[in-house]
């Protein structure tokens, strides 16, 4: 398999790379991580006639500058695999911005096949591309495709099968910029270039002017090159009256416009709906309405299926009670089944939440949420880019934290990592759903939204304090590119829903099952009054009693550190009918504390992996613990004063 020809999919985020990858490779694919990092790596096999190709889907990137993890991974892979066939996937409705990456590939000396994806959508919006003219201007193969509807895929496969590298036409920028590039190339002619020796000197020269971190690191000991670049940058900036980095970006977009001048024809389409959707008032009302409708449907439809699951496990428990020997009944029925069933009953809600998030993401609405929230988030040291990891965190905090790699600014990325665990994940929704059903059956949606509102409000407050007390820097300007509204691809939506919810089932069969058995054991041995859990819990009760929770509630929180769902299974094991032991106020406090206290072990491990800092990992643990304890005590005593 290692002798197969390599195909690399390169493109910006949300251009349909993954859909095309799935269409090309089918079931012959695997998912792992890139070496040394937790960035997902997708590989597959494509067979065309008598040839087999290895297909690699690179992370979605906006640029080839090495200022983010994803972009460095993609660039290094392209440098180290010079013979690979590059499929440059382009979002045709946003072709101008997507050609920016194409120009960088050409600068790097690559000869990609340009795949004009979503061509069906572009033409529906009145956007028409003359692929032959564009191919002639660039001297590159250009193919119109739609990965979603399998249009143009046979033509693409033929182009891959018959691929021969071409020499792309040289991209020329302004005379001022070309003069600087030429001078740097002259200096590079007698210079050792290390890992970049096989790349065009023109690309290295442009990268030096752009301030690429890795290129600058390579030449840090070469005073002649560095000083000459600094002198050139000052000369250009004195003439253009702003920074050269922005000037290079402007020049690339100017060239994109020139390339498309007689290639692109379109009818001007205005998405007037976005004026309302991203409006600070109307957009917020729409967002709240969408969330309210979503959770009503989640608890309405999901509740019916959950009831059926509970009844099924009750039936199984009755059968086992009649056939199991007494020594096994406690462990199997009151431990394993009681714990697992209490958690598994909420799997329908988890699936529905993931389904709705996938639908909103696929149709383009979540990008509008990022734009809507940017003005608010920027006041708290974040930006709209932080909204993407936070939205993913509603499924699981682990991929949410990993998604912070799209944030170039290291300070903003760290701030986002530190506050993302305050976003309620699907495991926490199990706790919310369990206590909502037990104590607030008539007001499940309002109960859920109140917990969400308090948790997210605390997230913004913590972010503000982190920004003001720890970093004290201004947030960078965030430029939005809103994708067009799309009819969700049902196959893609269902696949995303399964990928995001299957981890829940895996945990039920492993961590939750083991945790339920362990929980039952330490709560019942050597006996219930003097059990191991009672000994530990009564020490913790000195603190948790201040928020209305006894030692059993304290131990449920302890088990929740291993996996949040264990809070529910533990409560079900130690209390049985929880409504006989807790008041609605105590249930509300328990739910709130469960949502905001120490993250689960998987999240803690991810925080350490992404920050590579024990200091910030410990900071995360202790600030969450102190915050949850403080808020729990305040809410409990405030509720008492108000007569709850």
Quick one: pLDDT at residue 629? Answer: 95
* CA quadruple 576, 577, 582, 584: dihedral, nearest 10: 140
Report the pLDDT averaged over residues 626-639. 95
Output the six-digit token pair for 19. Answer: 């859909």
- Whole-number Å distance between alpha carbons of 617 and 417: 10
Window from 284-293, 505-514, 568-577 with minimum mean pLDDT:
505-514
Give the mean model confidence (pLDDT) for residues 508-532: 77
C-beta separation of 46 from 7 below 8 A = yes
CA–CA separation, 619 vs 542, rounded Å? 24
How is residue 67 annotated by DSSP? S
Give yes or no for residue 635 having a pLDDT over 60.
Answer: yes
Which residues are bridge partners to 41 per DSSP? Answer: 32
Dist CA 34 CA 151 (whole Å): 31
The tokens for 153 are 């895929």
The per-residue pLDDT for range 347-406, each reduced to its tens digit, is: 888 788 788 888 887 887 877 887 787 777 777 777 777 877 887 788 778 777 877 876
pLDDT of residue 291: 81
The yes-or-no verdict on residue 637 having pLDDT over 90 is: yes
CA distances for 147 relative to 23, 293, 391, angstroms: 7, 31, 25
Task: Give the HSE-up count for residue 30: Cα atoms under 13 Å, Cβ half-sphere.
Answer: 5
0.75 exceeded by pTM: no
d(CA 413, CA 610) in angstroms, rounded, equals 10
Q: Which of 549, 640, 560, 543 is nearest to 600 (CA)?
A: 560
pLDDT per residue over 218-254, tens digit each? 888 888 899 999 999 999 888 888 888 889 999 999 9
- pLDDT tens by residue, 90-115: 999 889 889 999 999 999 999 999 99
Taking Cα atoms as reference points, which of 635, 620, 622, 535 lies closest to residue 587? 635
What is the distance between the alpha carbons of residues 190 and 134, in angstroms, rounded to a whole number? 36
What phi-psi label fits residue 5: left (phi over 0), alpha (psi between -120 and 50 degrees) or beta? beta
Q: Locate 135 and state its tokens.
A: 């191919």
C-alpha angle 523-528-531 in degrees, rounded to nearest 5: 60
Q: What pLDDT score does 231 carry?
A: 92
Greater confidence, 409 or 463? 463
The per-residue pLDDT for 53 is: 93
What is the reported pLDDT for 341?
Answer: 79
Strand partners, 7: 55, 85
Q: How far apart are CA 399 and CA 341, in angstroms?
A: 26
Q: How far from the centroid of its chain's Cα atoms is residue 108's Cα?
A: 29
Structure confidence at residue 32 (pLDDT)? 54
Q: Which residues pair with 127 in a beta bridge?
A: 266
pLDDT at 2: 46
What would the DSSP string read from start to end of 455-485? HHHHHHHHHHHHIIIII--PPPP----PPPP
Other beta carbons within 10 Å of 562: 17
Tokens of residue 634, six digits: 């305040």
- pLDDT confidence band for 480 (50 / 70 / 90): low
Residue 413 pLDDT greater than 90, yes or no: no
Given a cut of 50, whether residue 268 has pLDDT beyond it is no
pLDDT single digits (tens) 566-584: 888 888 888 878 888 999 9
pLDDT single digits (tens) 152-201: 999 999 999 999 999 998 889 999 999 999 999 998 887 777 778 888 99
Return the DSSP state at 324: S
- Check residue 486 and give its pLDDT: 72
Q: What pLDDT score does 497 carry?
A: 83
Residue 256 tokens, joined = 């994109």
Average pLDDT, the chain: 85
- Quote the pLDDT of residue 276: 85
Percent of the chain with pLDDT over 70: 93
pLDDT tens, 64-89?
Answer: 988 778 888 899 999 999 899 999 99
The per-residue pLDDT for 472 is 56
| Residue 643 pLDDT | 84
| Cα 599-603-606 angle, rounded to 5 deg | 145
Distance from C-alpha of 42 to C-alpha of 59, rounded to nearest angstrom:
9
Q: Which residues pair with 51 in a beta bridge?
A: 48
Q: How many residues does the chain have?
A: 644
Domains, in order of start, for the chain: 5-161 (3.40.50.300), 175-266 (1.10.287.1770), 282-471+489-641 (no CATH)
The span from the first CA to the last CA of the chain, in angstroms, equals: 67
Please say whether the beta carbons of 420 and 406 come within 8 A.
no
pLDDT higher than 50, residue 270: no
Residue 271 or residue 357, greater confidence: 357
The predicted pLDDT at position 29 comes to 60
What mean pLDDT do residues 288-298 have? 84
* Burial (0-12, 13-18, 19+ Cβ within 10 Å), 306: buried
202 or 361, greater pLDDT: 202
3-class DSSP assignment, residue 597? coil
Q: What is the structure's pLDDT at 38?
A: 47
């Amino acid at each position: 398999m290692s002798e197969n020809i390599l195909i690399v999919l390169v493109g910006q985020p949300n251009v349909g790379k993954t859909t095309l990858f799935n269409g090309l490779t089918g079931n012959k694919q695997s998912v792992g991580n890139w070496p040394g990092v937790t960035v997902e790596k997708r590989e597959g096999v494509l067979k065309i006639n008598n040839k087999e190709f290895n297909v690699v889907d690179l992370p979605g990137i906006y640029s080839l500058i090495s200022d983010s993890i994803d972009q460095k991974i993609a660039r290094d892979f392209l440098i180290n695999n010079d013979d690979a066939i590059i499929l440059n996937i382009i979002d045709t409705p946003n072709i101008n911005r997507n050609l920016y990456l194409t120009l960088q590939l050409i600068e790097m000396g690559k000869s990609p096949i340009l795949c004009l994806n979503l061509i069906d959508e572009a033409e529906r919006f009145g956007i028409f591309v003359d692929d032959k003219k564009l191919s002639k201007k660039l001297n590159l193969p250009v193919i119109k495709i739609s990965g979603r509807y399998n249009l143009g895929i046979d033509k693409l496969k033929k182009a891959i099968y018959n691929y021969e590298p071409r020499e792309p036409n040289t991209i020329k920028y302004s005379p001022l910029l070309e003069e600087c590039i030429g001078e740097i190339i002259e200096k590079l002619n007698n210079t050792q270039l290390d890992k970049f020796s096989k790349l065009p000197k023109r690309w290295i020269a442009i990268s030096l002017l752009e301030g690429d971190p890795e290129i600058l690191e390579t030449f840090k000991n070469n005073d002649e090159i560095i000083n000459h670049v600094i002198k050139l940058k000052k000369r250009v900036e004195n003439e253009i009256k702003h920074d050269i980095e922005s000037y290079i970006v402007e020049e690339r977009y100017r060239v994109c416009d020139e390339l498309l001048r007689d290639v692109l024809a379109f009818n001007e389409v205005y998405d007037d709906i976005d004026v309302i959707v991203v409006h600070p008032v109307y957009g917020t009302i729409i967002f709240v309405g969408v969330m309210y409708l979503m959770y009503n449907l989640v608890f309405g439809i999901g509740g019916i299926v959950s009831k059926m699951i509970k009844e099924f496990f009750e039936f199984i428990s009755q059968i086992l009670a009649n056939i199991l020997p007494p020594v096994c009944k406690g462990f199997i029925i009151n431990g394993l089944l009681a714990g697992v069933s209490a958690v598994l009953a909420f799997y329908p809600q988890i699936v529905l939440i993931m389904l709705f998030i996938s639908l909103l993401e696929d149709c383009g609405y979540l990008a509008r949420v990022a734009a809507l929230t940017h003005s608010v988030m920027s006041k708290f040291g974040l930006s709209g880019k932080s909204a993407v990891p936070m939205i993913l965190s509603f499924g699981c905090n682990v991929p949410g934290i990993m998604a912070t790699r799209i944030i170039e600014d290291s300070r903003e990325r760290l701030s986002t990592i530190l506050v993302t665990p305050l976003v309620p994940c699907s495991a926490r929704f199990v706790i919310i759903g369990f206590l909502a059903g037990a104590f607030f059956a008539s007001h499940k949606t309002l109960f859920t939204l109140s917990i969400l509102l308090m948790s997210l409000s605390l997230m913004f407050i913590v972010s503000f304090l982190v920004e003001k007390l720890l970093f004290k820097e201004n947030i960078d300007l965030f430029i939005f590119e809103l994708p067009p509204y799309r009819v969700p691809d049902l196959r893609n939506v269902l696949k995303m829903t399964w990928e995001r919810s299957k981890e829940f089932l895996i945990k039920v069969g492993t961590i939750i099952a083991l945790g339920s058995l362990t929980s039952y054991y330490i709560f019942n041995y050597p006996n219930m009054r003097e059990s191991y859990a009672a000994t530990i819990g009564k020490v913790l009760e000195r603190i948790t009693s201040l928020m209305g929770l006894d030692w059993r509630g304290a131990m449920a929180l302890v088990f929740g550190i291993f996996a949040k769902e264990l809070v529910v299974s533990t409560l079900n094991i130690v209390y049985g009918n929880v409504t006989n032991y807790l008041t609605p106020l105590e249930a509300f406090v328990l739910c709130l504390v469960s949502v905001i206290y120490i993250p689960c072990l998987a999240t803690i491990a991810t925080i350490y992996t992404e920050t590579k800092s024990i200091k910030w990992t410990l900071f995360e643990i202790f600030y969450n613990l102190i915050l949850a304890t403080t808020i729990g005590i305040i809410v409990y005593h405030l509720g008492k004063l108000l007569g709850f």
